[in-house]
Amino acid sequence: MPQVTDATDGGVLPPFAELVLDLTERIPPGRVMTYGDVAEYLGHGGPRQVGRVMALYGAAVPWWRVIRADGRLLPGHERRALTRYREEGTPLREHADPPRVDLVRARWDGRYPGARTETRKPVRGRE
Q: Higher-confidence residue: 125 or 101?
A: 101
Q: How far is CA 58 from CA 26, 37, 39, 46, in A?
A: 13, 16, 15, 16
Say which residue, 8 or 43, is predicted with more confidence. Answer: 43
Residue 16's pLDDT is: 97
Please, which pLDDT band fits residue 10 given cuts at 50, 70 and 90? low
pLDDT classification of 98: cutoffs 50, 70, 90? confident
In this model, does residue 121 exceed pLDDT 80?
Answer: no
Could you tell me the end-to-end alpha-carbon distance of the chain, in angstroms, rounded to an integer?
30
Q: Is 20 helix (H, G, I), strand (E, B) or coil?
A: helix
Distance CA 15, CA 74 (A): 24
* Residue spans per domain, the chain: 15-110
**What pLDDT, on the 0 to 100 scale, is given for residue 86?**
95
In CATH terms, the fold of domain 15-110 is: Arc Repressor Mutant, subunit A (1.10.10)
